[in-house]
Chains A and B, each alone.
Chain A
């Protein structure tokens, strides 16, 4: 079976520094990583491949340097990497992103075999919308399985899949028909290290690189900034609260004395709390 995993290259949030004066992200020199949530999707795809055979293709839309993330995915054991890159994609919101990715997925189907399963991560750590997976599913007409914790059963010969997915207040066990788009829940597996052969293969692999036209996109008005219904109107610092925090005196005070003032200030500001607490502590 051919499985495709969509991955996004994102700035490593752990390394992000914010400019102390302008409050903007200092992007220079911030290393990029594979969106951490997407590694759960990749590992799940690799596990399926190990059991039922086939190939795993990883797909990224991004700038040329996103090739780095794709190569990394190959070291983990993915078989093929496709980079979708074109300046027409710049400024894409989630609707334009799902348009471009859906086109690339269709093209991948034509070139390398139709994928009955496409994976995405649960969400990214930068845009963080969780909208791209459902967007791809709708555009391709795939059945949509979001927040999947476990694949219980997969029967490619009859075209069915059963999964456990996280729902409000519990876990749903769902079965549906292929093709499906799965957004994988975090923490459900751990990405493998990859073998030495994988690393060797990755270093020499040719990354399939497509621009919009290569992916079969003819209507550029659906791409990038132009194809994005949302626009960022303004970016601003949140105003501090009108009143500054009331500071409790701490100089030359013992911790017990500070604690006593904190408690009394809390009760002064929230008198009802004192009753609540009394009722609670009078309980069992």
Chain B
């Protein structure tokens, strides 16, 4: 087979298809989205009937995948790093249930926060859950490790975490495929009580998980993903995790590097290899893309052993992703800078597309809010978060998905009136609905604006679980019919829209204003496809 030119994300997707998955479960989130999109677009995946439609959120995705694993088939779950917080309850408990069919969780971290609220390191979750964690450094490894993850998931009957970061997820390189494996047949776990985490069973399962730790560590020593290469110069030993290894070898090709190098791609890290490096070198440098996890373990709380360099002693800055320059400086290599960036270069912050419905919604809202004073719009995560920037400057919060409605409840409880929540349609079904139920149950005097653009805009226009269901959900949750209003955010309806908004802000109960107009990006794409189909059918006639 010839090499494919794949993004790291796509290599994971192809690896999972070739490992014989029967389903991928995911909620979009940069930089993980392309994995599921690749499977959705893959002809092979369609032929093999691999299920791949989007889940409502990461928790539902994770649980569905556990269900597929219970039923004996292989499943992949994908999310961005903060998605793992949402899925955490299911994820951490899956360590206790263990797996039947191969169960692999992919979490894509975003150090430097290219498009995220934080730079949390998913390897912590792997350690916390006590399951093996894989961290590829190249696109080829991303492919190979995904296949391997399914192998060891079934061998050890445990879920496996794969952690990637933005630079690998969104970088392309050649990938060599190997043969495709068959999907599993439906088969139940040998112990039908395995997944019942009642305390009596959970204690046994936990003991079992604890007893597997040494197996996980042995596997990490033998899989070939952790390799110690001895050097001649013992003044320094280097531990390079994930793509930290690439930046190391960019500066020092591995064949000529004088120091010992321990390349890490699988956790828990084998103590045997760690010890070998530690004992033979005077000082240690740890290169980790993300938090200083190994570094901290190695130096311990009192740091009384050999000098350990990395993020904790300032050799590498604590915040932000690694790059070749940071690693060169950590290695004390000469580094020739480029030109200085001239002052004439101005920032070009992202903004709402011309003609975006959110602009019209927030323009109307801004005017109404003026009547009550600033500081009362709790928002959420999506394209509409860009209304925080000039010229709109409409919103006062964006914390995590769904937090708009619940923060408005808290502020209203504290006496704020009116308190306003602004949330997108996809975010609403992700985790806004339950907050709305809270509001209804306590008759909280808040107004929820649901920006329904019929898509998940921020991440590139994936199907929204809310499509065609927003009013029904609000009704079902108990919002009064009279206070579920729909407006069309267009400049020409500006006055009408303001009036509706003001009426609902005045209402001292839960009100919902649905601002509905399709995202112009997805609309444009739809029109293009339609025109293309029309042209094709005309030329066929």
- The answer on A and B forming one complex is no
